[in-house]
Amino acid sequence: MLDIKNLSVSYGAIDAVKGISLHVDDGEIVSLIGANGAGKTTTLHTITGLVPARSGSIVFNGQDLLKTKANKIVTLGMAHVPEGRHVFTRMSVQENLEMGAYSLKDTSHVAEDLDKVYTYFPRLKERRRQLAGTLSGGEQQMVAMGRAIMSRPNTILMDEPSMGLSPKLVKEIFRIIEKLHEEGITVLLVEQNAKMALSIADRAYVLETGRITMEGKASDLLHDEKVRKAYLGA
């Protein structure tokens, strides 16, 4: 479904991503783990057209994403839950969610999809008329995920969904990610909480200073000594 080959990305003279190759198959959860500054967020931003690539290729369902504008990529069935949530702070929760459906040509199912999001996140239904900027960090993360779901994607890119959340909320967010996976949505997950990320993923890649240094089944990496020492505090 998503195939990245020899991708390099630079910010001026700084090489952020250095010739990485990875793939995400239909229906998988693939985790991309690594320390701060490893190039994880840059990789997602390049996939969704927010940052230009220096070289390499990104193909999504046969479409060359490096030749596709960011506003068109979302119409291909790919949604991006960004690091830091980036909700529309002066809009209500429901208005934020409805913005997720903005790119859809057929809007006849928006009400149905809203009900679905509210089933996932009952707290959002209680706060649907509240300004998103007044929500807690965990609630804003729910809004960001719900907004992505509203675009009816077949693939969701999630960037640090557990950042700044309490352990209880982290479990809740990851439970929803697993539920989306069960419903057939493909997930590329960038996450510093390596233990949680590896525990739900099918496969994983380890990114270090812009290069992929390890890859394999998530269960294998979860028990790999190097990974445990570097990312699991063991």
pLDDT of amino acid 218: 96
Domain around 117: 84-152
Per-residue pLDDT, averaged over 6-27, amounts to: 95
- 73, 188: one domain: yes
CB 8 within 8 A of CB 19: yes
Cα–Cα distances in angstroms (integers) from residue 200 to residues 30, 40, 55, 110, in the given order: 9, 18, 31, 29
Rg (alpha carbons) of the chain, rounded to whole number = 17
Say which amino acid occupies 143: V
Whether the per-residue pLDDT at 6 is higher than 70: the answer is yes
Does one domain contain both 68 and 96?
no
At position 6, the amino acid (one-letter code) is N
Orientation angle between helical segments 137-149 and 167-182, nearest 10 degrees: 10
Residue 43, helix vs strand vs coil: helix
- Condensed to tens digits (0 to 9), the pLDDT of residues 122-154 reads 999 999 999 999 998 889 999 999 999 999 999
Query: How many domains in the chain?
Result: 2
Q: What is the pLDDT of residues 164-216, one digit of tens each?
A: 888 888 898 999 999 999 999 999 999 888 999 999 999 999 999 999 999 99
Is residue 148 domain-shared with residue 165, that is, in the same domain? no
**Does 119 share its domain with 218?**
no
| 159, 228: one domain | yes
Residue 8 belongs to a domain with what CATH number?
A: 3.40.50.300
Q: Are residues 1 and 46 in the same domain?
A: yes
Nearest to 113 by CA among 68, 141, 150: 150
Residues 6+ apart with CB under 8 A from 107: 101
Higher pLDDT, 106 or 147: 147
Please report the pLDDT score of residue 234 as a whole number. 52
Shared domain check, 92 and 55 = no
Last residue of a domain, one of 152, 180, 207: 152
Same domain, residue pair 173 and 63: yes
